[in-house]
Structure 1
Amino acid sequence: MNTPKSRDNPVIMKLESPEFRSLFTKELECLINLFKKYNYEIRIAGGAVRDLLMGIQPKDLDFATTATPIEMKKIFETENIRMINANGEKHGTITPRINDKENFEVTTLRIDVTTDGRHAEVIFTTDWLLDALRRDLTINSMFLGVDGSVYDYFFGYEDLKKRRIAFVGSAAKRIQEDYLRILRYFRFYGRISDKSDNHEEITLQTIKDNAAGLSRISGERIWTELKKILEGNYAGDLLLKIIECDLSEYIGLPHNANVEELKRIWKQSGHMKLNAITLLSALLNNKEDAVNLNARLKLSVFERDLAIFLTEHREFELHPKPLLPYQQIIVKSKTKPLVVKQYVLELLKYNNSPHMALMETWEIPNFPVNGTMLKEKGIDNGKRMGLILQELKNIWADSKFKLSTEELLSKVPIILEKFPQKKK
């Protein structure tokens, strides 16, 4: 547990890095001067502080202030500054647009009064330590003054130097405030840690004890975090640790997740960057598992269909022409060929195939028959024509794309027997 440092001396250092100095645009200077003018303190908060201390240019800046939302609105209205995103006000966030050029999210210091594991009822405060206490991880609980002063109440900088991921105060309490923090722990472990398996057992046990809380979290929020884990460092190792912590059933994975397959895929992936859903699919046993995963996580159509595709095609027999079976799958598919080609490329990555480069450069051949040709043969029913075209496409693919237009059209009478014209 990280006990708080003295509130009388939370400043641990003065930051003067080029990354810090580059933040000060004319718009940010204007924002800072406004808060000074009205005697309210403003500091950079959370992840941006962590990134700056690591020498990383932050992508986003979040600010915290002692001013309440009402007080901020009064400032900006008085100064004729436009505010956007009114929905943030109930959470204490006001977003001014300075010089009609740059937006800044500024949030009032808060204390969580009640939480249900997903949402919190808050009250506003002017106490920086109390706001730091409600944050998830020590490395995310620091503030940075506009003069470069780093305010660290829970030894976040020391944890950052050790590449240690620890919850602020009581891990159980932080998790129970928002169960999504379980996955945030693993995400930041992948970002910060310099070892693939250097977790503290007490933290993992606390996560395991609170695993069921993830059932309260929406699939969309879970997938947002899980996807970042799978796209980060140690993705396979962290996924195995997630399973060891009994999280599978709460995040859409089967209870009998295919752990050995994941280990195999992760070991052989080497330098390759697998799509998040590709790596996750290694744990699925069949199409039903993929359908259940989608039901829980609300995947995109591409992600859902890729998961199904991988579970259906990952075990392929050896072929004298290794790419031909995949090329036939692409052409025969009822889905757009270019989309299916993407599925095949992920499948080849999944199996660490040496033929990926050849597949990437392979151009999908043009099918030599079209609807106009079939109309000339008296086939004008849309649905029936679609069935016949698909049948011809299958025949063409099986011929290794060699049959000509004439040869394919000669097959139409035989195919018509399979799809007779319905009597009106």
Structure 2
Amino acid sequence: MKNIFTEENIRMINMSGEKHGTITPRINDKENFEVTTLRVDLVTDGRHAEVEFTKDWKLDANRRDLTINSMFLGFDGSVYDYFFGYDDLMKRRIAFVGDADVRIKEDFLRIMRYFRFYGRIADTPDNHEEATLKIIKNNVQGLSNVSGERIWMELKKILQGNYAGDLLKTMLSVGVGEYIGIPRPNITELESLLKRSSHLKLHPMSYLAALLTNLDDVTLLHTRLKFSAFDRDMTYFIVEHRGEKESSKPLQTV
């Protein structure tokens, strides 16, 4: 792949991904595309993996997290689907490739990815398979060893997707909160927020702020997840000012 891009005078950036088989060509000096060769995971520790390159498409598909992410498209338009991802896509079903327990233990961030893709694919907010949720609950402590930046990248997408409030409650019910920086979630405030704003598209920080009791909780969560300055300050502001003010006046229809 490196030779192909070099011969075409296409610049490659971020060479640190090479050990995992990924190179990043920059097209027209404005768009980056990650290109990854086929690989298998030799050793995993729940965060990182030692890989070996392969030419076997099925072996590569087998190392992926969800069935809907294990399909390939040929240049002729043929779909290669070793684990029935297309069927699951048609059913709006989110399922791990093979043994869910094994897949999650390979990389505990897959817990968060499960909920993110559920919010993108599912057609109802609570159609989770109980067996899958049980396995997630049994492995949720593994998130404590995943960096806050990686967790926040997935969590923010969850909160920007469909059923954000319902997914957040499901995640808390299986114990995610303790390991991502919300050990004592304010469920009552979250329920109140969801009831008042069922017809609105909320900013991700609105959901998180509802779960936090005071400004100290905001600081602790920011320490864990490493928010941007804007998201951090927004959360501080919401938590500090969300209570009723004496001078508050009810909104009136004009």
Query: 8 Å contact 2:119–2:158 — kept in the other structure?
Result: yes
Is 1:215–2:119 an aligned residue pair? no
Aligned twin of 2:208:
280
Alignment of 1:11-30 (within 5 A): none
Is 1:202–2:131 an aligned residue pair? yes
Q: CA deviation at 1:187?
A: 0.5
Give the unaligned 5+ runs of structure 2: none
Aligned twin of 1:122:
51
Query: 8 Å contact 2:178–2:184 — kept in the other structure?
Result: no
Query: 8 Å contact 1:236–1:279 — kept in the other structure?
Result: yes
Aligned twin of 2:239:
311
The CA deviation string for residues 127-162 of structure 1, in whole angstroms up to 9 with x for no partner, is 000000111100011000010000000000000000
Aligned twin of 1:74:
3
What is the CA–CA distance in structure 2 between the aligned matches of 1:235 and 1:290, rounded to whole Å? Answer: 20
Question: CA RMSD for the aligned pairs?
Answer: 2.1
Give the unaligned 5+ runs of structure 1: 1-71, 323-352, 359-424
Aligned length: 253
What is the CA–CA distance in structure 1 between the aligned matches of 2:235 and 2:23, rounded to whole Å? Answer: 40
Query: 8 Å contact 1:76–1:82 — kept in the other structure?
Result: yes
Q: CA deviation at 1:180?
A: 0.7
Q: Choose from 181, 184, 190 the match for 1:256.
A: 184
Q: Choose from 87, 91, 114 the match for 1:158.
A: 87
Identity of aligned residues (%): 62
What is the CA–CA distance in structure 1 between the aligned matches of 2:229 and 2:176, rounded to whole Å? Answer: 24
Q: CA deviation at 1:103?
A: 5.3
What is the CA–CA distance in structure 1 between the aligned matches of 2:184 and 2:25, rounded to whole Å? Answer: 50
Q: CA deviation at 1:277?
A: 0.8
Query: 8 Å contact 2:215–2:236 — kept in the other structure?
Result: yes
Q: CA deviation at 1:354?
A: 4.1
What is the CA–CA distance in structure 2 between the aligned matches of 1:148 and 1:312, rounded to whole Å? Answer: 54
What is the CA–CA distance in structure 1 between the aligned matches of 2:163 and 2:197, rounded to whole Å? Answer: 12
Q: CA deviation at 1:181?
A: 0.6
Q: Choose from 102, 105, 108 the match for 2:34.
A: 105
Query: 8 Å contact 1:81–1:96 — kept in the other structure?
Result: no
The CA deviation string for residues 57-108 of structure 1, in whole angstroms up to 9 with x for no partner, is xxxxxxxxxxxxxxx223444x343331222222112344568786543211
TM-score when scaled to structure 2?
Answer: 0.93
What is the CA–CA distance in structure 1 between the aligned matches of 2:76 and 2:194, rounded to whole Å? Answer: 45
The structure that has the greater radius of gyration is: 1
Q: CA deviation at 1:308?
A: 2.0
What is the CA–CA distance in structure 2 between the aligned matches of 1:101 and 1:147, rounded to whole Å? Answer: 28
